[in-house]
Amino acid sequence: MFTGIITDVGRVASVSGSGDTRFEIETVYEPDSIDMGASIACSGVCLTVIEKGTRDDTHWFAVEASKETLDVTSAGDWQVGHSLNLERALKLGDELGGHIVSGHVDALAEIVNIRPEGDSQRFTFRAPKDIMRFVAPKGSITLDGTSLTVNEVEGDTFGVNLISHTQSVTSWGVAQVGDRVNLEIDVLARYVARLKDTEGDANV
């Protein structure tokens, strides 16, 4: 489990493999503090550490992504130099600063507009229609691993505000219109929708 609070912006250092794809990701995390087999959310995708080390004074860890993961997340777009929002798994006693995040991506959303709004930036995203039933104004949503609050919903689009601090400590500072981002709906919204569906079936 994660919280959607980013603790490092990593950088893809290498991409290799013909079956599962191996990514080496540079990070500020000390290798000694990362357990082999640990889960790290990489721009919202929960991946397992299979190797770690330090090279030329730069810390790194390696993960593998299956074809399924590459097909349904933005991991298929990751190239050398790509910035990734990183978060380590939640530990008992950690502060829950965002909301409960599983690291399981529900869909890909597309950035369709970015415009300044005061000192913030208003991002507008387009998401698949079957996902939009879970997106509500003032509700939580996870985008590229970041816990954010939905400002407005209209048709198949929704908007969020990113303050300057968030842009400076995450990959959102380099995001552009047309980028695909990993979207995870709020687990509470998922269960509320499920309850409504169950109640509807019971009334038939």
Tell me the pTM: 0.91
Residue 123: name the closest of 94, 158, 167 by CA: 158
**Could you read off the pLDDT of 118-171 as tens digits, one per residue?**
999 999 999 999 999 999 999 999 999 999 999 999 999 999 999 999 999 999
pLDDT (average), residues 162-186: 96
- Predicted pLDDT at 19: 79
Higher pLDDT, 4 or 95: 4
> Is the pLDDT at 63 greater than 90, yes or no?
yes
- Predicted pLDDT at 98: 73
Higher pLDDT, 50 or 97: 50
Domain 8-88 has CATH 2.40.30.20: yes
Residue 25: name the closest of 37, 2, 41 by CA: 41
Mean pLDDT, the chain, as a whole number? 92
Q: Phi first, then psi: what are they for 128, rounded to 5°?
A: -55, 145
- Predicted pLDDT at 194: 66
Residue 45: name the closest of 146, 170, 187, 144 by CA: 144
**Could you read off the pLDDT of 1-27 as tens digits, one per residue?**
899 999 999 999 999 987 799 999 999
Q: How confident is the model at residue 80 (pLDDT cuts 50, 70, 90)?
A: very high
Task: Please tell me the distance from the alpha carbon of residue 107 to that of residue 27, in angstroms, as a whole number.
Answer: 26
> Is the pLDDT at 203 greater than 90, yes or no?
no
Q: How confident is the model at residue 196 (pLDDT cuts 50, 70, 90)?
A: low
Topology (CATH level 3) of domain 107-197: Elongation Factor Tu (Ef-tu); domain 3 (2.40.30)
> Is the pLDDT at 192 greater than 90, yes or no?
no
> Is the pLDDT at 54 greater than 90, yes or no?
yes
- Boundaries of every domain in the chain: 8-88, 107-197
